[in-house]
């Protein structure tokens, strides 16, 4: 789970330790927060599943400031 710093980051760094299906919270530019299940990384874009799998959200990794995995049962 990543946090952007001077020596970071690309998508792989930001999502290190995150597994497909993990419930993640992504903070990105404009202080926006997106929750969803991690699906995959497509180049410089992360793809999340939202709304019980009915929607996909794509976020450019260069706009992401932090990624965290929700605690089980939350």
Higher pLDDT, 4 or 46: 46
2 is written with which tokens? Answer: 């990543």
Give the model confidence (pLDDT) of 9-62 as tens digits: 688 988 999 999 999 999 988 889 999 999 999 999 999 999 887 899 999 998
| DSSP three-state, residue 25 | strand
- 52 to 23, 32, 36, 48, 61: CA distances (angstroms): 11, 20, 9, 11, 23
CA distance 62 to 74: 28
What pTM was estimated for this model as a whole? 0.81
Q: At 7, is the pLDDT very low, low, confident or very high (cuts 50, 70, 90)?
A: low
CA distance 62 to 26: 12
Domains of the chain are 11-69 (2.30.30.520)
């Amino acid at each position: 789970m990543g946090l952007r710093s001077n020596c970071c980051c690309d998508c792989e760094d930001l999502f290190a330790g995150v597994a497909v299906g993990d419930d993640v919270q992504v903070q990105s530019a404009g202080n926006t927060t997106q929750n969803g299940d991690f699906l995959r990384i497509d180049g410089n874009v992360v793809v999340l599943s939202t709304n019980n799998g009915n929607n996909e959200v794509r976020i450019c990794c260069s706009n992401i400031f932090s990624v965290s995995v929700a605690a089980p049962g939350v």
